[in-house]
Chains A and B, each alone.
With several copies, the nearest count.
Chain A
Amino acid sequence: MTASTDYTAQEIIVVAGSKILEDNKIVFVGTGLPMVAALLANRTHAPGLIPVFEAGAVGPPLRHGLPVSVGDSRTFTGASYVKGLNAAFELTQRGFADFGFIGGAEVDMYGNLNSTMMGDYPDGYQTPKVRLPGSGGASDMAASCERTILIVPHDKKKFNQQVSYMTSPGHLDGSPGARQKAGMQGKGPYRVITTKGICDFEEGSNRMRLIHTYPGETVESIQEATGFELLVSPDVSEFPAPTVEEIRLIREEIDPNGVFVKRVAK
């Protein structure tokens, strides 16, 4: 279990994401790094992990290479069940998805995510400063998976007091029972995995709270890169560097072509 000394920010995100996934649970996997993390978990501590992709595949063994799309042919071969988008989201709305694994361009302290637009909302909704792809399935997962794991690159502009547009609701305004009052299901955001550390949400306040710092980061350096006041867990600890074997798996077996895990040196 030698620690790697040569890994990238995306690689530690993948390792962190994979460790949060529990064996034998059903995880609704969004596109990009979540796919890599689910594969890594499956190849390491969670061989019984059951991925669900929004285009319809449930429980594929993923032995034909990394999908580049959640609708990719590679998600279907060997799956237990394949229908379309409605079926996948209905499973989720019904309560079958233990975890949802989603990314976003901007997040606030309650885990509300934006992947719609940057700019002046609501007035500038029809003329956004930067138009992002849109929700895709993210807001559906946020609304209906039992717990969600968020991935957001850590950057002061992305960890904001308020998101420009709330695409994927998290703990809303953080008030107790806010999700229930809004008619939502599920416990909402569970972990945030960033390029600098890992957060959970404090019980009661539902505010984002640092629980792990990555090697080379400190509580202070992470607060510095955050656009709101980050709570800090009394048990905050360093997240161990990925092992050489984990990095080998990512680079050689899971994403050998760097489709999602870019080879930018850390």
Chain B
Amino acid sequence: MENNANMFWTGLSPDEAREALVNKDKSMRDKRMSLKDAVSKFINDGDNVGIGGFVDVRQPIATCHEMIRQGFKDLTLSFQSAGMAPEYLGAAMILNPEKCNIKRIELAYWAHEGFGLAPGWRYLAERGLIDIEDWSNYNMSARFKAGSMGLPFIPTRSPLGGDIKDTSRTKIIDCPFTGRKIGVIPASNPNVSVLHVQAADKFGNCIIRGTDCTCAEIAMASAHTIVTCEQLVSHELLCSNPKDVMIPFAAVDAVVEVPYGAYPGACRRHYWFDGDHIRNFLGLIAPIVKGGPTDALKAYFDEYIYGVENFEGFLQKVGVKDLLAVKALEMQNCERLA
């Protein structure tokens, strides 16, 4: 609030975002690498990180686990509505703020809808450990969209009337054509975005099933993008109907095949939510908000994140039974022959 009302850029300014793309190698080349390498290469301390997905749908969970293993400092997280991605990152900060540190969050919503509120959010916010900038889902989506369009701002009616306009960098102007009031909000151009999608080719072309969320806009707005995917397939198959491609290769820097990469969240056509895993995890953080001990949360991190080499190690800990169960649930939502 103190400074949100004044204008400043987090991530890249519009001119910097343009220059980043102009100077980038945008060729159609093989971008496959390990998630370890992708996180180490493209996520730097101090970055503004755009997070894809929506609440617990298609969140880049595997990438968040890897970020936690490598540690991060002074990050700004930018998203519309998120669930387990910031919950993991935030819990890592609760346990060890030296190793994992979030400086600021620009968001519309952090909770888990049917699975409950976000204790990590309450902990960080109520203790004043992070800068907060509230927006709405459309505000944040439109900010990424402005960034993806190469515009410094975009008009929207959403911030009119309420308090969001006063606690964010929104400005209310008189429309140059109608004279009526309208909101204008600054573009968001993250340094890097982290996304999970259903399918990609090695060049980074991506297919998304179900909601696109705001993933394409985030990727196009960011200077760099790390994509994890359920299936890495041939360019010919992926682009057999080019209109299915939601993110073009030129917007992507790293492609990593990570099956179940959004688990315990959901990924259309592949798996539904693991509500028990999510609720259990939230239950480990909730007592800490009220001053309780961190032991149980630490044990989870030691077993599931720090105690494994990579996301496949995490999935091994989760076990086949739970993975098959969420797969079976999704097959009921969206029946398909293999």
Which residues of A are at the interface with B, using a C-beta cutoff of 8 A? Answer: 24-26, 31-32, 48, 50, 54-59, 64-65, 68-74, 76-86, 89-96, 98, 112, 116-117, 121-122, 125-131, 133-140, 142-144, 146, 165-169, 172, 179, 181-185, 259-260
Chain A residue at smallest Cβ distance from B19? A95
Residues of B within 8 A of A54 (CB): 137
B17, B22, B156: residue with the most chain A Cβ atoms closer than 10 Å: B22
Interface residues of B in 66-84 (CB under 8 A from A): 80-81
Q: By the criterion CB–CB under 8 Å, are A81 and B242 in contact?
A: yes
Chain A residue at smallest Cβ distance from B107? A134
Q: By the criterion CB–CB under 8 Å, are B57 and A80 in contact?
A: no
Residues of A within 8 A of B117 (CB): 133
B142 within 8 Å of A by Cβ?
yes
Which residues of B are at the interface with A, using a C-beta cutoff of 8 A? Answer: 1-2, 17-22, 25-29, 54-57, 80-81, 107-111, 113-115, 117-118, 121-122, 125-128, 131-132, 134-139, 141-142, 145, 148-151, 156-164, 166-167, 172, 175, 180-183, 203, 205, 210-217, 220-221, 235, 239, 242-243, 245, 248-251, 266, 268-269, 272-273, 275, 330, 332-334
B interface SS class: mixed
Residue among A32, A72, A76, A136 making CB contact with B108, cutoff 8 Å: A136
Q: By the criterion CB–CB under 8 Å, are B250 and A185 in contact?
A: no
Knowing A80-B242, A146-B22, say if A94 contacts B150 (CB, 8 Å). Answer: yes
Q: By the criterion CB–CB under 8 Å, are A183 and B183 in contact?
A: yes
Shortest Cβ distance from A119 into chain B, in angstroms?
9
Q: Which 9 A-B pairs have the closest CB atoms?
A: A183-B181, A169-B161, A68-B114, A84-B212, A93-B150, A95-B21, A133-B111, A94-B150, A24-B27
Shortest Cβ distance from A264 into chain B, in angstroms?
16
Residues of A within 8 A of B213 (CB): 55-56, 71, 84-85
Chain B residue at smallest Cβ distance from A98? B26
Q: By the criterion CB–CB under 8 Å, are A133 and B109 in contact?
A: yes
In the complex, given contacts A73-B269, A80-B249, A85-B54, what are 11 additional A-B residue pairs having Cβ atoms less than 8 angstroms apart?
Answer: A86-B142, A90-B148, A90-B149, A98-B26, A127-B128, A133-B110, A134-B109, A137-B136, A140-B158, A143-B162, A179-B161
A71–B163 CA distance with the chains assembled, in angstroms: 26
Residues of B within 8 A of A95 (CB): 17-22, 150
